[in-house]
Structure 1
């Protein structure tokens, strides 16, 4: 029997919160939230050229590896989503399995990740729009790297403004757009997979195993060092954000049951679809030695247009652009709910205002505006950075997996006490006897992801030392600011009678 909204609200009250957000999302909307965040039509079309430029066709093998590792993390998150059906996702999970400080740091790091991701996803318009029409290259030409970067920031800023308006209007409008976008993306992915397969010019072995003389600097199967670099750029960027269904738990009917299922379904659906798109794209590419496959002005959009033809390719790129727009909306919605959840607990500056929900739209409007403003500021700050795409995306990947690592580690620490207490009777998803081995492997995987993404590589961050160590420098600064804000708010709360 389906739980009523009253039951969901009473469940929420047990955690000390009252229902303020509009609980209107069903099973498909919950799945769509995670799927649209991952959005392989956004991530693959945006980041394909980076992975290909580093490792050539061999970067295909990074995808199944990352999918398998992230699925271990997703299984742990599914358990937590069933135990703690609250807005804020990883913040709440770390708080309840650890303590308020660890919850704060996890939420702080992930909030920064989401705002950076919002900026990074919005910039994906630059990869597709100018290939439909050169008129979208508003500033300079596509042959000038600086003009490309500035144009990407302009297009991205416009999209963030639109996303802020839509998110401020409420979850109903957002869910409708999200559902339509995911439905269109699923249909588009199926057609793309079929068309690429029908236009294949080589076998799978020739495409991703026997790699010879492809003209991109890789004349054989890439070595481990090269594959690690490619892993940090493409698959790692696309295959995260599956926890979004848990972040929107307070707007979902029966979230203890639907959120865990949505988390796993979103990752698996996007992961396997992306695997087929990559494989068949490499099988269908007219010339794997084309250097533009590893260039921002070429990449997967250029490959698709060359295979499907100018007209059909441009029409498909329109679907990709719609997917980018919907993905941007989804990322901002996750950031807003996280900021709302942290503000509701009183540990953010101006917490009362940030957690205030509009009675008309049932949405935290100020949090929505600040998330959008934060993304635009990030875009503007990186205006003069020569590797703006690589920097913004790599920092986002690092912070996401750092937050994931904290949550997975805390869950492992609490498994013994949870087992002794007989588990959580209200949880509707449990790994049972597989909990410990899955959790241990997930922690090992998350540790690898954090180290690999943050490694100071020239290919990712640049040639100067301050560029190569940008991820470590920015992360240390983020943690330092987070600790300061937490204890400042803690002291302030103790002083107020």
Structure 2
């Protein structure tokens, strides 16, 4: 059912009531803060600084083109999500969307996959921040300092999130402002004073293919773009905390892609043109070109100032991720779809946030971070698994939307693609499948088979565990909350 044509707090609550829910959240997040939340989740600085060295060593300077290619693909996904959230502005994002588009079993598995991936993404972000925070605090570089700093960042993110929606909104706006201005200032300075390469390098493979086919190397470098462009869905995770969500959230999702993508390309380009020796990065002689560039450009003191801005970006990103994960668990628990639902849906009366869900959103990533001490390529493994899981969760919603369209769903929210809906939906699904195949493709034949297939095996284990629990515990039978009602002929039918 479409919301009232006159948006306002009463109309928002009435629309939510028509969807079968009464919210305990406060609508204290402005549309600007909602966009900032998505931006800080997507976080150009976090994405580029985390994977710049890996992508450059893998695919050479042309890896920057993946930021444009993936950005266009993810825009298609964002458009599909915009149609869904415009009709179903319910907290939790992909889980309630899949529930209304398809049914309870599909929704349960979608939420499970996305939740596991979110935990891994949070771990990947704080682990990627570890070396930068260690530098800032003067710790000796190494696995121990990285893990310690990652845990510190998790604790800070949890503390701020527990303060409530208003403080989350403040933190998102501060993080967005600091990250965008910092990225523009640092990038501009590098382009003006530290540029040592010509723009033509974005077409120069820098010898990464060793005389063979460059295509496989270029495709392998796609992770920098694939990891960069998610976060826009977080705008919908907090749908019950935003005024006029049916109009504002689809807009915030698109703006996250536009602004975040442009900033990411700018940051990446400024770093690429400041690298003095590509061969040293590709060979591993310079394993941390970002720090090398910052030290050369700003000196020790100046680098610390830049790192403060970088750490604000990482913290804001972790905050947004943790908020998304906690809202998903709350939405799950509100429908009795997960173990310990009575705790995960519990609300802190003074702050109007789910504290136990937030605690879990910090505790599970902490365990993943601690487990990373046993891996020699922890960052790449965590990010690859997390990204594949996120994309799988996305495409389960995109597939559900396509299935619903074929069965008669006509998006009825204020934001609609009209006749272009089917084309965009099919294109979004095709893009997502290709991206997942690329992420899971084995590329290290010289290592044991289980290491070569680590990303796919990890995803299979995650899905398998969830599937076994769903079959045995049947959590989808615990609630009579609405499902499958996007398609008129299937309204009220359980699956």
Fold match (TM-score > 0.5): yes
Equivalent residue pairs, number: 475
Partner of 2:403: 413
Equivalent position SS for 2:246: helix
Q: In 2, are the aligned partners of 1:211 and 1:219 still within 8 Å (CA)?
A: no
Partner of 2:491: none
For residue 58 of structure 1, report the CA deviation from its aligned partner: 2.1
Partner of 1:320: 310
Measured at CA, do residues 105 and 357 of structure 1 come closer, stay the same or move farther in structure 2, by a change above 3 Å? same
Partner of 1:469: 453
Instruction: With the length of structure 2 as denominator, give the TM-score of the two structures.
Output: 0.90
Q: Deviations over 1:10-64 (max 9, x none)?
A: 1111111111012111111110110000111111111111101111212112221
Q: Deviations over 1:64-89 (max 9, x none)?
A: 11111111111111111111101111
Instruction: List alignment gaps of at least 5 residues for structure 1.
Output: 143-147
| 2:204 maps to which of 196, 207, 210 | 210
Q: 1:2-401 residue pairs with structure 2 within 5 A?
A: 3-132=7-136, 135-137=138-140, 142=141, 148-199=142-193, 200-205=195-200, 207-212=201-206, 217=208, 223-232=214-223, 234-291=224-281, 298-401=288-391
Q: In 2, are the aligned partners of 1:177 and 1:326 still within 8 Å (CA)?
A: yes
Cα distance in 2 for partners of 1:8, 1:85 equals: 9
For residue 468 of structure 1, report the CA deviation from its aligned partner: 1.8
Q: In 1, are the aligned partners of 2:130 and 2:145 still within 8 Å (CA)?
A: yes
For residue 280 of structure 1, report the CA deviation from its aligned partner: 2.7
Cα distance in 2 for partners of 1:170, 1:2 equals: 28
For residue 313 of structure 1, report the CA deviation from its aligned partner: 3.3
Q: In 2, are the aligned partners of 1:87 and 1:248 still within 8 Å (CA)?
A: yes
Measured at CA, do residues 293 and 67 of structure 1 come closer, stay the same or move farther in structure 2, by a change above 3 Å? farther
Instruction: List alignment gaps of at least 5 residues for structure 2.
Output: 481-495
Measured at CA, do residues 325 and 221 of structure 1 come closer, stay the same or move farther in structure 2, by a change above 3 Å? farther
For residue 467 of structure 1, report the CA deviation from its aligned partner: 1.6
Q: In 2, are the aligned partners of 1:336 and 1:371 still within 8 Å (CA)?
A: yes
Measured at CA, do residues 182 and 494 of structure 1 come closer, stay the same or move farther in structure 2, by a change above 3 Å? closer
Partner of 1:145: none
Measured at CA, do residues 127 and 469 of structure 1 come closer, stay the same or move farther in structure 2, by a change above 3 Å? same
CA RMSD of aligned residues (A): 2.4
Measured at CA, do residues 494 and 163 of structure 1 come closer, stay the same or move farther in structure 2, by a change above 3 Å? closer
Cα distance in 1 for partners of 2:261, 2:398 equals: 21
Cα distance in 1 for partners of 2:353, 2:374 equals: 35
Instruction: With the length of structure 1 as denominator, give the TM-score of the two structures.
Output: 0.90
